[in-house]
């Protein structure tokens, strides 16, 4: 009986771990803060809505895009360069208290000292 329970437990763990596809989870295929900061320790990123957003000041289509500022969707609550400490509301460069807004374009806006800065969502594929 113990062997059967142990086998069921192992199968449950294996199928449960492979079946997870939660936002912000390593299994969803999207880059994590750890992935980004490992490649570029100076990256300007934040985590919101379980996704990593990266500053888009050098992305040509973002610079040319007209947009309307929408509702506030979050606020930076923590600043760190330690990728292991990233969670919802954490940023590598943006100061604590920075408000994040949605737009009618495919990017978010962070307002820092009255200046609007665009950030794009990093997704796989």
The tens digit of pLDDT for each residue in 23-73 reads 444 445 899 999 999 999 999 999 998 899 999 999 999 999 999 999 999
Q: Tens of pLDDT along 80-90?
A: 999 888 999 99
Closest to 122 in 3D by CA, of 47, 10, 71, 68:
47
- Percent pLDDT > 70 in the chain is 77
Q: Under DSSP, is residue 108 helix (H, G, I), strand (E, B) or coil?
A: strand
Task: Report d(CA 52, CA 48) in Å as an integer.
Answer: 7
Partners of 121 in the β-ladder = 53
Task: Report d(CA 65, CA 106) in Å as an integer.
Answer: 9
pLDDT attached to residue 122: 95
> Is pLDDT at 21 greater than 70 in this prediction?
no
- pTM of this prediction? 0.76
Sign of CA dihedral 53, 57, 61, 65: positive
Sign of CA dihedral 37, 40, 45, 49: negative
């Amino acid at each position: 009986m113990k062997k059967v329970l142990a086998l069921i437990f192992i199968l449950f763990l294996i199928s449960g771990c492979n079946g997870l596809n939660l936002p912000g989870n390593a299994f969803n295929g999207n880059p994590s803060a750890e992935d980004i900061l490992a490649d570029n320790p100076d990256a300007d990123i934040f985590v919101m809505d379980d996704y990593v957003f990266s500053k888009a000041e050098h992305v040509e289509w973002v610079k040319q895009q007209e947009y309307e500022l929408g509702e506030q969707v979050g606020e930076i609550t923590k600043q760190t360069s330690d990728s292991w400490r990233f969670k919802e509301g954490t940023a590598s460069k943006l100061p604590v208290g920075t408000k994040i807004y949605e737009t009618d374009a495919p990017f978010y806006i962070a307002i820092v000292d009255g200046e609007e800065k665009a950030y794009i969502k990093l997704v796989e594929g």
